[in-house]
Structure 1
């Protein structure tokens, strides 16, 4: 019976097709995720990750996906390699194979990293940017790599901040983060297989205003008098990362309030108009001419 794996490593690598023996891949970060693992195991593939136990005996053989990069299919010398590798406590090594050939073998380091965030996080962050720093205790000789994640809802969802780094610090651009009252930073470290992580103290970040866009009419458009005009707008909440579908109000500098809704069709009086779409406290404006 297949174990019910809850945590998986995401393999991101590439294979040199000229030699078929050179596999390069990024250090493995582990994440709890829902994966249809039975479907993965049923996949036919010439490439596998073989999990090994302490004696070097196979624990599990996991098919990997590979193919040409979509930017230039069939003409590049490297194949993109992707796959989900389950975290199994018996694993002491991973062997990568392609068409029965050994590509690489990773032995799980005995030493495990420990990580602590050293930056004092205030109760509310008001600066546009700040430096997040951490320290790591590690007795091994494998290079360490870090990722920073962020949540504005107490950990219900996480978003990546910046790129992977080998430094023990990262400049955080607060203006690019969703706001909320239950914000946290999470730093993860990997030595290639062993993972550790640390959460920051909770903080508050001011919520970002809605992003409001007028799709039609367009800026500077000349409209015919007596004909109805289609007003079409959209709005996005960067704090929840959701589209807004209610609370649209259309205004004209000449005619006053025009109506409500993301879609509205009505007539404008002759002359210049500044059209404003208001969603909550956020607005977007354009100028049109009715002739």
Structure 2
């Protein structure tokens, strides 16, 4: 039985192509998918590109672009974007180096009337003959006209200060959908102790936030969160950089705001000012 299973595995590999190994991927462009929500035109575009398989015979691949969900908030409504009834399917062929490029679906939203727009994308890559799944990737676009996220690195004080605020908090549906009610933030810190050392990035595993707390709006719909002040404890690192991602939720748990910011506190590659 074990011999039959081994032979069956060899047949599948021969039919579907060989999945990329870490060593083969080292010099290849990583497989990425993207979704872009243009704030000026309201056009939504999706695409996929990068290395899918190890170098070898070009392989026919079916690429499935699926809208997983999303949110749109206007002055008077909050709408949940439903998944597409069927994925948008594209047929593509890998190059001899195993790379693939595919263009997915397009969409649109009204940028003038939209205060917040979020669309989530999942892309699945399958062998066109056998249907075997090679890989799945996800991406999200956010266009937020309400939320402000700032991160300030002060080398003299040795501190990193984050501040979060918002406007138009009364926008959305009359039942409270679309109105900011809760905030979560996620930090990622990159440290390199010496020039000859590798750098390390530390962060919470997604989808967990470092901190979550309720928001209180003023009568005019503005809100301010205290953010945080952080003083790194590393002694004279060569590099210290920080990034923060902020998610805003309404009372029903829908994402209705999003923002990111980053700054570098210490960078040994930059000469000190005279």
TM-score between the two structures when normalised by the length of structure 2: 0.32
Structure with max Cα Rg: 1
Q: Which has the higher contact order (CA 8 A, sep 6+)?
A: 2
Q: Which has the higher helix share?
A: 2
